[in-house]
Amino acid sequence: MNGRISRAEAASWILTLGQFGVAGAIAVFGPTHPLPMHFGLDGQVDRWGGRTEMAAVAFVLAVISALAMVFGRLPESDAHLLRGRRYSRQAVVAVLSLIALLEACLTWGWPNEPGPRFGMMAISAIVAFVGALLGKTSPNAMIGVRTPWTYGSRLAWEKANRLAGRLFFWGGLTGGLAAPFAPQPEGLKAVTFGALAVAAISVFESWRVWRSDPDRVV
């Protein structure tokens, strides 16, 4: 692999540096009043913390993004695996950057109790981001429908991840559009259990395709 950096990689590095910036800004300039750290299934805050804890979470996520970027630059002779690394690191950085943005919103721009509508919007956005890239990935260790069957069959990986990508993207987009109007906390529960249902369907699809693939690894 040459040393050239693509536009997508440069953008991912900028987002990663932005995550570190968010962590530092929260640590230095964050408010001193309690911040929401965890939400229950009803979308209400069930645990509060200080700016130090919020900044620490943002910093850890930024480190994960940086490690994903470094891992994606490791030499690889298999073109399929190399493509998988590239797309998976983009997905990881995009999702963690969105979470960093949400942390900034919780720190400065949202009321103390954002409620279930905020949770529905956040989950929908993350699910849509993942879905947009999931169908493009090749086998990798970071993101995707990673089951014994997808690792034992290239066909199972492709079909299961394409299915998951489509369902996640359209489900997340629908949830995001419906969030301003959906009754709560029913809307939040719908997108949460919908995401879990898509994950279960994708796992079943990986087994189904693996079973019928003559080139599978038993």
Confidence tier at 177 by pLDDT (50, 70, 90): very high
Mean model confidence pLDDT for the chain: 86
138: DSSP letter: P
Could you tell me which residue, 30 or 80, shows the higher pLDDT? Answer: 30
- Is pLDDT at 80 greater than 70 in this prediction? no
Could you tell me which residue, 83 or 144, shows the higher pLDDT? Answer: 144
Q: What pLDDT does 71 receive?
A: 81
Could you tell me which residue, 42 or 203, shows the higher pLDDT? Answer: 203
- Measured CA to CA, the distance from residue 18 to residue 49 in angstroms comes to 23
Q: What pLDDT does 94 receive?
A: 86
- Is pLDDT at 114 greater than 60 in this prediction? no
Burial of 211 (0-12, 13-18, 19+ CB in 10 A): exposed
pTM above the 0.85 mark?
Answer: no
Name the strand (E) or helix (H) holding 46: strand 45-49
Type of residue numbered 197: A
Residues 163-172 have a mean pLDDT of 95
- On whether the CB atoms of residues 160 and 168 are closer than 8 A, the answer is no
Percent of the chain with pLDDT over 90: 45
Helix axes 154-178, 186-212, angle to 10 degrees: 170
- Measured CA to CA, the distance from residue 189 to residue 170 in angstroms comes to 17
Residues 63-68 have a mean pLDDT of 93
